[in-house]
């Protein structure tokens, strides 16, 4: 239980000598927050679930107000939720999200306008290109148009690339052809002229996929269509963060004249069933105790890796603070993280800056310390 609900963060002791830390106690003031410490550098965001948007999770609401000035909805603006029937739209939760942002002065990044996953069933059953095009057009015009000027930005197209940088084999590619991404941005530009428009994907810091993303962005720009930024999701493992690739991506994407965002940041600490990193929500693996080694708590040695990982990342973000527009954590605290259930349901992961009791972790202190 949290007796005083963040009236006081208390004292966090960090003893990570192997990474150059002194074994000294750090006082975390009740007034210290990520959004304030980094307010001159970039926005600090979080992902919100339904209970948080409706303010039913009081501990989360306190933390959200205190720490974040940007927010992205986890699921409530995806097409299966917001557009469940051909002529049926469900704007209730999205409207509540907009109201929450206004209430707490949080900039809303709407997510995700066009995505091959989490489509409503009727779209997956469409057979002809004309019907898919009609859904595509109506969806963008209606949803993006409703929230123009009410949300700060849109992830217009989400995860349209394969790992080798080629176009993902989706219903949109199959029925509409390779120009569907450019057309999505064209329609979004028309429907939402007062909203920033982004392309969002995972692993686009990796060279092949990055090259594909750069080609995609250049294609949009060459068509005279507006694209304001790119979102690198940042689903990495704490022990294997590709810092050189991330830095090169910041340099190459920003050279296109667009903002670079880190949009779904979390650092997993559990074993990966596959070689390499991935973030495809459809990937699944079988549970085993070996794959859930920290069910009863995180060892100090692993906590140290997580802390060092976040410190290294934020050093890099600060180096390019003129080019990085936002850093969004994919969840408010560890209990909310999708990594507890992906790719293996029932695991206990620790990928964020706040623990399951909403208390700041040593990684939080390390990120704050960089600005002192």
* 297-349 pLDDT per residue, tens: 999 999 999 999 999 999 999 999 999 999 999 999 999 999 998 889 999 99
Query: Sign of the CA dihedral 170, 171, 174, 176?
Result: negative
Region 137-147: mean pLDDT is 98
Q: What is the pLDDT of residue 11?
A: 33
Which residues are CB-contacts of 179 (< 8 A; sequence separation ≥ 6)?
none
pLDDT at residue 12 in the model: 34
Q: Which residues are catalytic?
A: 159, 264
Of 46-60, 63-77, 203-217, 264-278, the one with minimum mean pLDDT is: 264-278
Q: Which CATH superfamily is domain 32-369 in?
A: Glycosidases (3.20.20.80)
| Tens digit of each residue's pLDDT (9 = 90 or more) over 3-36 | 333 333 333 333 333 333 333 223 344 569 999 9
Q: What is the mean pLDDT of residues 179-186?
A: 98
Which range has the worst mean pLDDT, 32-46, 134-148, 183-197, 339-353?
339-353
Distance CA 5, CA 62 (A): 8
pLDDT digits (tens, 9 = 90+) for 80-100: 999 999 999 999 999 999 999
- pLDDT for 20 equals 34
Tens-place pLDDT, residues 229-267:
999 999 999 999 999 999 999 999 999 999 999 999 999
Angle at which helix 129-139 crosses helix 180-191, to 10 degrees, equals 30
Extended strands (E) in the chain? 10-14, 24-28, 43-48, 70-73, 107-110, 114-115, 153-158, 196-201, 229-232, 235-237, 259-268, 324-329
Say what the pLDDT of residue 6 is: 35
Contacts by 36-40 with C-beta closer than 8 Å and gap 24+? 37/368, 37/371, 38/327, 38/371, 39/69
The pLDDT, as a whole number, for residue 8 is: 34
In the chain, % of residues over pLDDT 70: 89
Does this model's pTM top 0.85? My answer is yes
pLDDT given for residue 9 in this prediction: 35
Average pLDDT, the chain: 91
Helix (H, G, I), strand (E, B) or coil at 18: helix
Angle, helices 300-319/362-369, rounded to nearest 10 degrees? 30
pLDDT band at 274 (very low <50, low <70, confident <90, very high): low
Please check the confidence at residue 1 and state whether its pLDDT lies above 50.
Answer: no
Specify the pLDDT at position 4. 37
Identify the pLDDT of residue 290: 86
Reported residue count of the chain is 372
């Amino acid at each position: 239980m949290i007796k005083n609900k963040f009236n006081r963060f208390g004292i966090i002791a960090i003893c990570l000598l192997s990474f150059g830390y002194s074994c000294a106690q750090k006082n975390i003031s009740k007034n210290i927050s990520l959004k304030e410490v980094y307010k001159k550098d970039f926005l600090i965001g979080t992902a919100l679930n339904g209970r948080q948007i409706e303010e039913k999770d009081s501990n989360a609401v306190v933390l959200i107000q205190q720490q974040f000035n940007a927010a992205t909805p986890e699921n409530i603006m995806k097409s299966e939720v917001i557009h469940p029937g051909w002529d049926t739209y469900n704007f209730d939760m999205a409207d509540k999200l907009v109201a929450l942002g206004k209430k707490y002065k949080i900039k809303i990044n709407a997510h995700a306008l066009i995505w091959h996953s989490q489509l409503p069933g009727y779209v997956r059953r469409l057979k002809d290109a004309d019907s898919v095009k009609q859904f595509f057009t109506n969806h963008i015009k209606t949803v993006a148009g409703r929230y123009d000027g009410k949300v700060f930005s849109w992830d217009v197209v989400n995860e349209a690339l394969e790992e080798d940088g080629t176009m993902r084999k989706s219903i949109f590619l199959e029925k509409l052809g390779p120009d569907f991404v450019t057309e999505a941005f064209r329609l979004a530009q028309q429907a939402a002229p007062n909203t920033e428009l982004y392309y969002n994907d995972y692993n686009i810091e990796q060279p092949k996929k990055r090259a594909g993303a750069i080609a995609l962005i250049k294609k949009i720009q060459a068509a005279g269509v507006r694209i304001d930024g790119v979102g690198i999701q940042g689903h990495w493992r704490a022990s294997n963060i590709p810092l050189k690739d991330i830095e090169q991506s910041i340099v190459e994407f920003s050279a296109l004249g667009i903002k670079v965002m880190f949009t779904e940041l979390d650092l997993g600490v559990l074993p990966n069933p596959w070689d390499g990193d991935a973030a495809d929500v459809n990937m699944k693996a079988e549970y085993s105790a070996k794959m859930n080694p920290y069910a009863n708590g995180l060892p100090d040695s692993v906590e140290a890796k997580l802390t060092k990982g976040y410190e290294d990342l934020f050093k890099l973000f600060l180096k390019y603070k003129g080019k990085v527009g936002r850093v969004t954590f994919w969840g408010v605290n560890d209990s909310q993280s999708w990594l507890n259930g992906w790719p293996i349901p029932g695991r206990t992961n620790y990928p964020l800056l706040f623990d399951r009791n909403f208390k700041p972790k040593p990684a939080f202190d390390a990120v704050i310390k960089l600005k002192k």
